[in-house]
Structure 1
Amino acid sequence: MVNVHLQARVPDMVDAVGAFAAIAPEIFADAADVDRNGNFPTGAIAALAGAGLLTRPLPRAHGGEALAVDAAAIDNYAALLTDIGAASLTVGRLFEGHCNAILLVDRYGGPMATLAAEATAGRISGVWNAERGVGVTATRCGNGWQLSGRKVHCSGAGSIRRPLVTAQTPGNGPLMCLVDMASDGIAVDLSVWQAAGMRGTATGTVNFDDVFVADDDIIGAPGDYYRAPLFAGGAWRVLAVQSGGMRQILALHAAQLARSGRGADPVSRHRFAAAAGAFEAARLLVAEAAHRATDATVPPEAAVAYVDLARATFETLVLLGVDAARRNAGLAAFLGPDPLDRCCRDLETYLRQPMLDASRDNAAGYLLARGGTFER
């Protein structure tokens, strides 16, 4: 879009949604092979890069359109996440992590030029925070830090070159580090990822043995990663991707009823209506969560509480929709290569996000102190 008064290009966020629409059928078709073989979706990531979608989330100063960092783009950003999730939850999970890394570097300061170079080269980033026990620690050394320990559930392990990795510092909270996976002392183990769904995310365990990270590759300050509302409030992005999976299951559910002729059966229609209602409620909930989480006028605790409530409620809605689809489709919903089977498995697996009960409890505590409602 051109502003005739400035005679300059004004970024049009809708272009991102349209760009993805052109490659969505290709990515949906590729998802079957990715699931069957458990391979990283190299072709889908290349398609995203070819459509310019790896660079659009970047700030404008680094060649992007600020899709992941500008609150004014929230509706189109959410729509893009949902559309990608509908085509492939695996690709949606990876793309969301890429956008999250960009957002964190933009918000807290760090090597954005490195992320921009990666995106321009057709490579995604990601955020690796999950760990068990001690996890990864960071020790100061000269003009940088040494990382030692283990991260678990690292999506894109072995394929992402520059992930954002959190590492605990002595008494100061986690430090965000943009690690070069070509460094010495790194070992990746993908054998642990034997999941029912999301098989192509290449989620694995990564061990760090005195891996050096220069000061120039540090993001923000220790403790920034968990600051509200960006950390807990950012869960709306995961919900947006998952709502795409929910939308795809609803469409496959409708198609299955049409093929089987059971669309005329009152019981089947009742289940389908319940699934459609669940999706519509989820869609509206996620849209509101996205706006509250990115609205600077909403107090951080209120934004986090709303997203926490959305997470808990969303799970209930998804499980209702999946159950209705499986009951109406019968055994077909559990047999490959029917895409309904894959999409249900992927969504049920992706739905298992950490700390859901704690999120539900936080939302309850916030609402109990305010008569059960949110005030804007």
Structure 2
Amino acid sequence: MPELFTISAPPTPALAAAAAATLAPRLLAQAAASDVEGGFPTQEFDWLREAGLLAAPLPTKLNGSGLNEPAHTQELLSALRHIGRGNLAVGRVYEGHANALQLITRFGRPEQLERWAADAVAGHLFGVWNTEAHDGVKLAPLPSGRFRLSGSKTFGSGAGHLTRPLLTAALPDGGWQMLVLPADTQIPEYDARFWRPLGMRASASFRVDFTGLEIGSEELLGEPGDYYHQPGFSGGAIRFAAVQLGGAEAVFDETRRFLRALHRTDDPYQRQRLGQLSILVASGQHWLHAAAELAARPGPDAETLVAHANLVRSAIEDICLRVLPLAERCVGARGLLRPEPFERLHRDLTHYLRQPAPDAALADAGRYALDHPRPAYRLWHD
């Protein structure tokens, strides 16, 4: 359990995003030291705590900054992008923290929200563990009124460091129930052998076995099936897309630094590649801006928000996949050698881009376009 910090004055949404931008160079400088298989960026999250960023996604009435509110989506995506360009592993875990607090804010009973918000303000780290292992997680009611867990999750990012993971579990009737596990007292079994990744080593995304743990009804969040409510379930993809774009920006910055160090900035082919990279990165920034504008605007229905979020995640994945080979051509074989930062940035971004169901996301955006008769200029914006 990390040392906890009490934040007396949460930053405004704009200041929270600015704090993330300020932290990005420190995160980048520390990233190589944290890039250890099975490790975790503990010091980096201490910096986020001190900056008030762990509480920032909470509503202002609960000592947060309101980053998760639709009106402040622009600041949330900016904060995620800046943290991502500092260290994608930190960005991955922080995005899960923001996601968990959004679900708690939406579905928690008042007393639960107050308790878990106080935990976030005190420095507890939240996250969402949803990917089922072969045995899956099940929740069985006991005669005492408590519930017993069994089974496992995989890709439990922040395993051993998240003290308030949010997970889904199957009920005996087949429903899916959210719960927030007090993992500092109900400690699951972590299997680090699962995590032998190409990149994102420091995200500690282990297999987690919950068998034998017991919780009370006060740890159950919402009603069965609430986790999959739209637009929150699919629409949240814009958050991880923001982190990914931050990784692409880091690749861009490192490529430019590398060429300057070699005095290759006058090469016409390098200039052409940097022009192409500039178009790609700026395009991703425009996509995030459009996503934030749509989220903040009153009126879009869940179907529109989900379809547009699927466009955003698909576009930014494509942008990142095009950034990487262009940057490789710029830096050549020399830039791919350790300890050059490019080598780690390339691994981390390549791995993080492998989000689930990319083809289905793009197909859903296409279905929306086919089902709606509005012309292109009004398809996403009435």
Task: Give the superposition deviation at 1:324.
Answer: 0.6
* Structure 2 CA distance for partners of 1:184 and 1:47, relative to 1, 3 Å: closer
The answer on whether the counterparts of 2:10 and 2:52 sit within 8 Å (CA) in structure 1 is: no
Say whether 1:135 aligns with 2:136: yes
| Contact map agreement 2:255 2:342 (CA 8 A) in 1 | yes
Deviation at 1:75, TM superposition (A): 1.4
Does 1:274 pair with 2:273?
no
Q: Distance in 2 between matches of 1:287 and 1:171?
A: 42
Query: Quick one: which amino acid aligns to residue 220 of structure 1?
Result: G
Give the Cα–Cα distance (whole angstroms) in 2 for the partners of residues 202 and 348 of structure 1: 17
Partner of 1:64: 64
Deviation at 1:286, TM superposition (A): 2.1
Alignment pair present for 1:202 and 2:201: no
Q: How many angstroms does 1:67 deviate by?
A: 1.5
Cα distance change on mapping 1:217 and 1:184 into 2, 3 Å: closer
Residue pairs, 1:298-309, within 5 angstroms: 298-309=300-311
CA distance in 2, matches of 1:123, 1:175: 22
**How far is 1:52 from its partner?**
1.3
Identify the residue that residue 102 of structure 2 maps to in structure 1: 103
Residue correspondence of structure 1 range 27-106 to structure 2 within 5 A: 27-36=27-36, 38-68=38-68, 70-106=69-105
Indicate the larger mover: 94-103 or 55-64: 55-64
Uncovered stretches (5+) of structure 2, i.e. residues with no partner:
1-8
- Counterpart of 1:77, as a letter, is L
Contact 1:81-1:92 within 8 A present in 2 as well? yes
Q: Distance in 2 between matches of 1:10 and 1:135?
A: 38
More displaced stretch, 300-309 vs 286-295: 286-295
Q: Say which of 348, 351, 367 aligns to 1:349.
A: 351
1:22–1:144 Cα change, 3 Å: same
Aligned to 1:6: none
**In structure 1, distance between residues paired with 2:204 and 2:10:** 37
Cα RMSD after superposing both structures: 2.0
1:122, distance to aligned residue in structure 2 (A): 2.4
Which deviates more from structure 2 when the two are superposed, residues 144-153 or residues 17-26? 17-26
Q: Determine the structure 2 residue equivalent to 1:250.
A: 252
The answer as to whether partners of 1:162 and 1:178 remain within 8 angstroms in 2 is yes
Alpha-carbon offset, residue 83 of structure 1: 0.8
**What CA deviation, in whole Å up to 9, does each residue of 1:211-268 have, x standing for no partner?**
2121111111110001100000001000111111111111111112222222222222
After superposition, where does 1:313-328 map in structure 2 within 5 Å? 313-328=315-330
How far the C-alpha of 1:287 sits from its partner, in A, is 2.1
Give the distance between the partners of 1:310 and 1:292, measured in 2 at CA. Answer: 12
Amino acid at match of 1:63: N
In the alignment, the residues of structure 2 paired with residue 134 and residue 368 of structure 1 have an alpha-carbon distance, to the nearest angstrom, of 39
Q: Is 1:288 the equivalent of 2:307?
A: no
**2:124 alignment partner in structure 1:** 123
User: How high is the TM-score relative to the length of structure 2?
Assistant: 0.90
- Shift of residue 367 of structure 1? 1.2
Secondary structure of residue in 1 paired with 2:278? helix
Deviation at 1:112, TM superposition (A): 2.5
Aligned ranges for residues 134-213 of structure 1 at < 5 Å?
134-141=135-142, 142-171=144-173, 173-183=175-185, 186-213=188-215
**4+ long deviations beyond 6 Å:** none
1:291 to partner: Cα distance: 3.4
TM-score (norm 1): 0.92
Structure 1 314/24 Cα, relative in aligned 2: closer, same or farther at 3 Å?
closer
Query: Residue 210 of structure 1 aligns to a residue in which SS?
Result: coil
Residues 10 and 48 of structure 1, relative CA distance in 2, 3 Å threshold: closer
Q: What is the CA distance between 1:133 and its match in structure 2? A: 4.1
3-state SS of paired residue (1:146): strand
- Specify the code of the residue in structure 2 equivalent to 1:205: R
Matching residue's letter, 1:113: E
Residues 291 and 170 of structure 1, relative CA distance in 2, 3 Å threshold: farther
How many pairs are equivalent? Answer: 367
Ranges in structure 1 where 5+ consecutive residues have no aligned partner: 1-8
Instruction: Give the CA deviation at 1:312.
Output: 1.7
Which residue of the partner structure matches residue 6 of structure 2? none
Counterpart for residue 14 of structure 2: 14
Report the 3-state secondary structure (helix = DSSP H, G, I; strand = E; otherwise coil) of the residue aligned with 1:127: strand
Query: Structure 1 pair 223/340, CA: closer, same or farther in 2 (3 Å)?
Result: same
Give the letter aligned to residue 116 of structure 1: A
